[in-house]
Structures are given as structure tokens and as C-alpha cells.
Chain A
């Protein structure tokens, strides 16, 4: 691990409301570059909502409203065009959601939307993305097959390849393995460790062992009866899991609630 870490995403006093309901309260965090940051916490604490802040997917919910600042490499994401932002901040969803298109067309989707028509270049991007997503060897002879015909784990890696094809800087993962079996989960985890060499990864997970296995940093979110999520503790994953500063973190880690 390199000694000097730069901040890729910075969040300052960020709050999110759904109508009059406050879902997140004044979150402050700096997400380091080319590291895996896990977001953990009990159900309903706003983990996914927080993750969806970084590519402004919350914009799709008409009642959602935000306060505070979020910067990507020093640029205020709320001043960016959401489409440009999403090209820099990719996302992998909880349930694999390949398009009802061929494997090739799934991966080529993003580059094509960016206007790339050159077949050779598209082919190169598709191959590289599938290789990086550790799926190439399994599908290379069958790129014309429907993405929906793959197994769940393969579909999820296809979705990762699809996200990689637009060459983002950050990849958000919303419980990417929760719909997968243990072996497929393991492959995704290996892949995450591999991908952090090139990308900054933020992953929401319910599975604490997974957070401990794949992440370098961990953010613990928590909520009380108000159902408003707060960031309780952020730090080095080892430290969070062995020597947390907050009592609530410790209780959660040791399985006293959640």
C-alpha cells in the first residue's frame, strides 16, 4: 500500500431528505483514491442512499433534496452535468441487471453512448473490460449470446465489465454479491481487490466478513428510532474491526445488533 493517499471523493456536511424525512444527517468523509471503502451498517441506515449520492442516482427520486457538498477530484458534483458525472462514477447494482442484449452489446453500450462507432476499437474495449472483470475466458467464444443467458455471478461480472468499459474513476457497488452464491461471491471479492489497482471503489455491504476481507477503509453508518442515518465512524478497516472508537461501532461489529 502506498504511503501517500489522495482523496478522490470528499463529502462535507451532506444531508439528504425525502420530502420532509431526513434520511442522512450531515455526513463528513474523505474517500481515498484507489482504495476500497466499505459502507456498513444496519438496514435502513441510509447506506445505499449515501452510495447513490456519488453518481446522483438520487436525482431520479423527485422528492429527494440534498444539503452540503460533495466533490469528485475537487469538483462539486452537484454543479456537474449528471450524465458526465455518471461517466466518471460507475455503478454496479445489488441484482445483476444486464440489458436484454448480447454480451458484446452490453459491454459496448457505454462507449457507444459516448459516440464510439469504430468496430475495432469497440472490440478492444469489450475484450479489455471483460478481461478486467474476469469474465473473458468464460464468454470469449460466445459474445453474441444474450447477457441474460449467463449465470447470476457471470451476469454480475458482465455488469462490472459494462461499468469498466466507460473508463470511470470510481466504481460504486451496492451489495454486489448479495444475490450470488458463495463461490460467485468469492470471485467478485477477488475481482474487487484486483480492480482497486486502477479504480476507487466504494462498496455497500451487509456482510461484515466481506467488508473486512475486501476493504481498506470502512464507514459505519447507524440510525436510531428517528430513522435518520448518520456516519458514526470512518477509518482504516483493520482499526474499525479490531479497535473501534465508538461503542455503537463495536456493538455492531461484534454482532450485538443489526
Chain B
């Protein structure tokens, strides 16, 4: 009797310990990154760091180096937006199909495929993008200086990568809509499609929005595949021709890519600026996830 109580208590402390440890690790990483980033913020200045479009580190000439990440922020936003534009309709469409329409047999086929998609390593996506998608885009769009590498290629790769996140969460949200809503709508003579659009979607909207926002968070943080297909230019991205849509054929560098590209050789302020890039990324993703939280809370209907 006494022994079981001791075991019970020990296990409880162990579990508490592991919970605290994971919180501790997150805090530690945040503090470490922040400390490493501080010299950059101090020397470059927060405003200049965020708003200067020029990133030009000169290892031998620190005085003339420029560390502005506006171009990377811009690039991260463009690829994420591109991935959302391509991935969200596809993902939600797939989720509706899986939750509402697919017969059991097809569901059993598609669902594992989606899960497989989530399990493919990032570098494999990058590889496929590099050897297949990039040449395709290069051949498809006859625009001067279109090298295939760039925002279009990375948006497409990223769209596929965020699909599992969006599909899984959106499907769960749709499935969580009470059967009684569905029955009620059908009994009033709505078609299946009317029921989906007018009753099931609104009832599942907080979950669907959460799916999209978590997809955004995933997209912002993606690194390896981006480095492989986006071109990694430090120039501020501009459209290749007068047509503003050719911005998607331009090359750029995401915040994540910036850290990877520089970390091998960077020293001093340059090195610190990479950590500062990490801090900005960290904050952006926190903001996005916080938004998801607020929206899920506000939009879920009080029953």
C-alpha cells in the first residue's frame, strides 16, 4: 500500500519534471538566441535591421557591411502567400472530400497518402523541386533572367509541404461538426453541397482557419527545401519585367535561408545578425500561432 503510493508520487513528479523540462528548454533556446542577437541589435539598430533592404556582409570590412533583412522578410511573406494561395484551396478541398464525400475505400487510400506526405523529409521535397520543378518553370516562362529558381518554385514546393497540416486539421474540424447539424440541414431540403457550404463550413470555420494559420506557421519556418529552390539571392526581390506577377519568377532568400546560408562562415556582427534573423522569425511564428489561438477562441460558437 505504502509502496504503491510512493510509486504513484514518484511518477507524478517525473511527469511534472518532463513537462517543466520542455518549457525550460524552450525558454533556454529563446534566451540563448536573444543573447546572441543582442550585439547585432545594438550595433545595427532595430529599425535599420528590419527596414534596410540591403544585406551585404563584408567579412574583411565590417565597417562597410550592411545588415538589413527587409528583403528576407519580404521574400518569406511572398513564398508563404504563394504557398497559401496554392495550398489552401487544395488542402480544404481535399479535407471536404475526405470528410464528406469520399467512400470508405477511397478514404482508406487517400488518408495514408496524406500522412506519407507529412513524413517525406524536407530535403527530398527540395530535391524534387530542384531537378524537376525548377527546369520546368525555366522552360515554361520565357522571361528574361528567369532561371527557374525563385518564388514560384518555392511556393509550389511549400504548398505541397503544408498540405498535410491543412488537410489533417481541416478534416478533423469538419468531422467534429455534430451530425445533427448535417441532418437538420438535409431534412430542410438542402442539397449536400448547400449543407457543406452553409452549415458545415460555418460550424467548422474556427478549425479551418486554425488549419490555414498553422499552415502559415509551417511555411514560414521551412528551411531546407526553400534553400534548394528559391535561388538565395540577397538582392531585394523585384519583378523581372513590367508585369508585377513576374515577382514570382524572381529569386530571393527567406529568413530561414538567410541563417543557413551565412552560419558557416559568419563571424562578429554578421554572426550575431543571423541570430537576430532567428529572433525575428521566432517572433513572426509566435505572432501567427497566437493569432490562430485567438481566432479559434473567438470564433468557436458557444453551445
A112–B184 CA distance with the chains assembled, in angstroms:
15
Q: Is the CB of A87 within 8 A of B189?
A: yes
By the criterion CB–CB under 8 Å, are B191 and A97 in contact? no
Interchain CB contact (< 8 A) of A113 among B178, B188, B303: B188
By a CB distance below 8 angstroms, the chain A residues around B139 are: none
Query: Does B189 contact A100, Cβ atoms closer than 8 Å?
Result: no
Interface residues in B169-210 (C-beta closer than 8 Å to A): 178, 180-181, 183-191, 194, 198-199, 202-203
State the Cβ distance, B21 to closest chain A Cβ, in Å. Answer: 40
Q: Does A57 contact B (CB under 8 A)?
A: yes
Question: In the bound complex, how far is the Cα of B184 from the Cα of A159, in angstroms?
Answer: 9
Residue from A83, A109, A112, A146 in contact with B191 in the complex, judged by beta carbons closer than 8 Å? A83
Nearest CB on B from A155, distance (A): 11
**B302 touching A146 by the CB < 8 A rule?**
yes
Interface size on A, residues (CB 8 A): 29
Is the CB of A90 closer than 8 A to any CB of chain B?
Answer: yes
Say whether B180 contacts A113, CB under 8 Å.
Answer: no
Which of A95, A109, A149 interacts with B185 by CB under 8 Å?
Answer: A109
- Given A86-B189, A113-B191, 17 new contacts (CB under 8 A): A57-B187, A60-B183, A83-B191, A86-B186, A86-B187, A93-B187, A95-B180, A97-B178, A97-B180, A97-B181, A97-B183, A99-B184, A99-B185, A99-B199, A109-B185, A109-B198, A113-B194
Please determine whether A110 and B181 come into contact, CB atoms closer than 8 angstroms. Answer: no
Let me know if B301 is at the binding interface, CB within 8 A. yes
Please determine whether B183 and A93 come into contact, CB atoms closer than 8 angstroms: yes
Judging by beta carbons under 8 Å apart, are A100 and B186 in contact?
no
**Please, which residues of chain A bring their CB within 8 A of the CB of B303?**
100, 148
- Can you offer 23 A-B residue contacts whose CB atoms are under 8 A? A57-B183, A57-B187, A60-B183, A85-B189, A86-B187, A87-B189, A93-B180, A95-B180, A97-B180, A97-B181, A99-B181, A99-B184, A99-B185, A99-B202, A100-B181, A100-B203, A109-B199, A113-B188, A113-B189, A113-B190, A113-B194, A146-B302, A148-B302
Contact residue among B187, B191, B194, B203 (Cβ-Cβ distance under 8 Å from A55): B187
A84 touches B189 (CB 8 A): yes
The verdict on A157 contacting chain B, using a C-beta distance below 8 Å, is no
Closest residue of chain A to B187, judged by CB? Answer: A91
Tell me, yes or no, whether A47 is within 8 Å of chain B by CB.
no
List residues of chain B with CB within 8 A of the CB of A109.
Answer: 185, 188, 190, 198-199
Residue of A nearest to B195 (CB): A113
- A100 near B184: Cβ-Cβ < 8 Å: no
- Closest 5 pairs between A and B when the two form their complex, measured CB to CB: A87-B189, A97-B180, A100-B301, A86-B189, A91-B187
Q: Residues of A contacting B180 with CB < 8 Å?
A: 93, 95, 97
Is A163 close to B, CB under 8 A?
Answer: yes
- Cβ of B189 and Cβ of A148 under 8 Å apart? no
Q: How far is the CB of A48 from chain B (nearest CB, A)?
A: 12
B interface residues, Cβ below 8 angstroms from A: 178, 180-181, 183-191, 194, 198-199, 202-203, 301-303
- On chain B, the residues within 8 Å of A90 by CB distance are 187-188
B197 to chain A minimum Cβ distance, whole angstroms, is: 10
- Knowing A109-B198, A146-B302 touch, does A60 contact B185 (C-beta < 8 A)? no
Contacts A83-B191, A87-B189, A146-B301 given: A100-B183 contact, CB under 8 Å? Answer: no
B209 to chain A, nearest CB (A): 15
Question: Closest approach, in angstroms, between the C-beta of B271 and any C-beta of chain A?
Answer: 52
Chain B positions within 8 Å of A162 at CB level: 184, 188
Enumerate chain A interface residues (CB-CB to B < 8 A).
55, 57, 60, 83-87, 90-91, 93, 95, 97-101, 109-110, 112-114, 146, 148-149, 159, 162-163, 166
Given A93-B180, A97-B178, A100-B303, the answer on whether A60 and B186 have CB atoms closer than 8 Å is yes
Contacts of A93 in B (CB 8 A): 180, 183-184, 187
Q: State the Cβ distance, A171 to closest chain B Cβ, in Å.
A: 10
Which residues of the other chain, A, contact B189 by a CB distance below 8 angstroms?
Answer: 83-87, 110, 113-114, 166
Report the Cα distance A57→B199, complex, angstroms: 17
Which residues of chain B have C-beta atoms less than 8 A from A149's C-beta? 302
- Asked if A113 and B198 make an inter-chain contact with CB atoms under 8 angstroms apart, the answer reads yes
Which chain B positions have C-beta within 8 A of A60?
183, 186
Bound-state CA distance A57–B189 (Å) is: 11
Nearest B residue (CB) for A106: B184
* Chain A residues within 8 Å of B198, by CB: 109, 112-113
Q: Select from chain B the residue with minimum beta-carbon distance to A84.
A: B189
> How far is B185's CA from A146's CA once the two chains are assembled, in angstroms?
17
Smallest Cβ-Cβ distance to B192: which chain A residue: A83
* B188 CB, nearest partner CB in chain A, Å: 4
Note all chain A residues with C-beta closer than 8 A to B202. 99-101
Tell whether A148 pairs with B301 under 8 Å between CB atoms, given A97-B178, A99-B199: yes
Residues of A within 8 A of B191 (CB): 83, 113
Is A163 within 8 A of B186, CB to CB? no
- Asked if residues B188 and A86 are in contact (CB atoms below 8 Å), the reply is yes
Residues of A near B187 (CB, < 8 A) are: 55, 57, 86, 90-91, 93, 163
Q: How far is the CA of A90 from the CA of B190 in the complex (A)?
A: 12
Chain A positions within 8 Å of B185 at CB level: 99, 109
Report chain B residues within 8 Å CB of A99. Answer: 181, 184-185, 199, 202-203
Chain B: minimal CB distance from A161 (Å) = 12
